[in-house]
Amino acid sequence: MSPLVSVIVPVRNSQQHIKGLLRSLFDQDYPNIQIVLVGNVNDQTWQPIRKWIQEGRVTTIEVQLPEGWTGRDSNLKRNTGALHAFGGILVFTDQKIRHPRNWISRGVAMMQQQQVPALAGTMLSTRSDGDSFWARFTDGALVKRNPEFRQGRILNARNFGATESLPITANWFMTYEAYLKMGGFPEDFRDSYEDYAGAWKAVSNGVSFYCTDDLPVYHKHRLDPRQIQREYIRSARGAAQLFMTFGDCPFGRRRALQVIGVMLMGTGVILTSAILVLLTEWLLLLTLTQIVVLLLVVASLLNFMKVRHWHGLFFPPITFYFIFIFSWHFMQKCLEGGGITSSDRYLQT
């Protein structure tokens, strides 16, 4: 008999996306699923799916945020959903996700085959968005934002900072026993990185993940550059909080070293250029400029070869810009301290 799987989705006025999400879950070939949607009191998400709620196809839970709550509330909702889940396997996903028909059956089979208590898959653009510039950038930039787990690997506390790719809550399977061992998702990460903080909390408590590219889901990526920039800012602040909160987390230290390297490199180039101008060493300044341009051209060609589309030629300079934005806001958050965000200005979706 197939074990009951509880799919937990935090929502927030998700009426634009909720039907597409639920249809992809209703269409699963796995026979034993409980769908748990967790939203705010009087959440607008429920309006277009009243019939499905009344038919009992979906369990909905409303949470009243504590007084003074600021920032994101996804992890609070995930923990609330887990309290109301009946399944022996908990599956976490997000409101903008679309799932292949065999997503749950394949994920459960992989957990059994690999004999692991937790599983993480990757995320790609939805097919309808896949040809747009910003979708290609999200999926195909040399510095990749979405997880990439080539050939599959076991993730544990020892190798947590070895690569850029970590489990994301858009595609996360876990036994209920492992969730209890993890101690739930940390609710004080309200800028971003709440999934990375949860993954570190899990592995540091002895839960191992099998991470694989063979279990993709499809995400409605942000296609507005302003929204993408806000996402980088949120990620930077979340990464800084991860570094300050979990001093023993190797991925947090990895991010801090990367930010230091970026800021030193940028400062070095600016200072060197300024000194060459003051000394009127125009030939050396021209040489330095040529080196920088050559590196950009090489990166552009590599990105073009990776995505096999002319869009890739423009990704490296955009990536460098976002890396700078990320580094700046990482340092800014560190200077502010590790407390919970006091403003929603970075949290627009």
Dihedral of alpha carbons 336, 337, 342, 345, sign: positive
pLDDT for 343 equals: 47
What CATH architecture is 5-224? Alpha-Beta Complex (3.90)
Residue 229 has pLDDT above 70, yes or no: yes
pLDDT of residue 346: 42
Across 106-120, 155-169, 268-282, 331-345, the highest mean pLDDT is recorded for: 106-120
The C-alpha atoms of residue 170 and residue 91 are separated, in whole angstroms, by: 9
pLDDT at 339: 59
Domain edges within the chain: 5-224
pLDDT at 30 over 90: yes
- Indicate if the pLDDT at residue 347 is higher than 60: no
Report DSSP letters for 190-250, one per residue: -SS-HHHHHHHHHHHTT--EEE-SSS-EEE----SHHHHHHHHHHHHHHHHHHHHH-TT-H
H runs (alpha helix) in the chain: 18-26, 50-54, 74-83, 103-114, 133-140, 176-182, 194-204, 225-245, 250-278, 282-307, 315-336
Asked if 239 contacts 332 with a C-beta cutoff of 8 angstroms, the reply is no
pLDDT confidence band for 338 (50 / 70 / 90): low
C-alpha–C-alpha distance, residues 268 and 274, integer Å: 10
Paired sense of beta strands 97-98 and 89-92, if any:
unpaired
The pLDDT-based confidence of 48 (bands split at 50, 70, 90) is very high
pLDDT band at 92 (very low <50, low <70, confident <90, very high): very high
Please check the confidence at residue 5 and state whether its pLDDT lies above 50: yes
Q: Which pLDDT does position 103 carry in this prediction?
A: 97
What's the rounded mean pLDDT across residues 120-127? 85
- Distance from chain centroid for Cα 96: 12
Cα gap 97→341, rounded to integer Å:
27
Burial 87-122 (b: 16+ CB within 10 A, else e): bebbbbbbbbbbbbeebbbbbbebbeebebbbbbbb
How confident is the model over 298-318, as a mean pLDDT?
A: 90
What's the rounded mean pLDDT across residues 236-245? 93
pLDDT of amino acid 2: 87
Phi-psi region of 161 (alpha: psi -120 to 50; beta: other; left: phi over 0): alpha
Tens of pLDDT along 312-337?
899 999 999 999 999 999 999 999 87
Q: Is the pLDDT of residue 348 over 50?
A: no
C-alpha 244/C-alpha 241 separation (Å) is: 5
Q: How confident is the model at residue 170 (pLDDT cuts 50, 70, 90)?
A: very high
Closest CA to 198 of 74, 283, 108, 112: 74
pLDDT band at 349 (very low <50, low <70, confident <90, very high): very low
Residue 240 pLDDT > 90:
yes
Whose tokens are 């939203």? That residue is 39
Instruction: Compute the mean pLDDT over every residue in the chain, rounded to the nearest whole number.
Output: 90
